Amino acid sequence: MWKLNQSLFGGEEEGRDDFLAEDSDGICSLSPMQSLIVFAKPIKFAVVFTCGNLLSVGSTAFLIGAAQQMRMMFDSTRVFATSIYLGCVILALICALWIHNKVLTIIAIICEICALIWYSLSYIPFARRMVSDLMVRLCDTEL
């Protein structure tokens, strides 16, 4: 509890760094307290998360070339997934930087994650159809 009070209300700079580093299971995992930053400061998280997503998509452009990446992104099979993903990225940035509403920013982040998953599934053959069929079966209300 002392570490929580130190990190929330100030104190030693070293204690704050140790608090954020504890309970980490791996190199890319977040502790439960670190993951609360999404709800504590969603605007900062949205900006960093969106920039990270853009960098990850841009990294494939670095690997295969920008022209090939654009052709693949706007291919007829994934043009809608790409448009929705880019729209959600823009929406998240607008909610975070212009509107400054925390609830809308969290909703935009969730939409961005779902759009990124759907966009990523477009690169796996029959993955979107399988996920769509699974969701229809899971959400079907007929008995």
Segment 48-96, tens digit of pLDDT: 999 999 999 889 888 999 999 999 999 998 999 999 999 999 999 999 9
Rounded alpha-carbon distances, angstroms, from residue 137 to 115, 125, 126:
21, 20, 17
Q: In the chain, what are the domain boundaries?
A: 1-35, 41-139
Judged against a pLDDT cut of 80, whether residue 24 lies above it is answered with: no
pTM of this prediction exceeds 0.75: no
DSSP 107-124: HHHHHHHHHHHHHHHTTS
- CA geometry: angle at 27 spanning 16 and 116, to 5°? 105
Judged against a pLDDT cut of 80, whether residue 13 lies above it is answered with: no
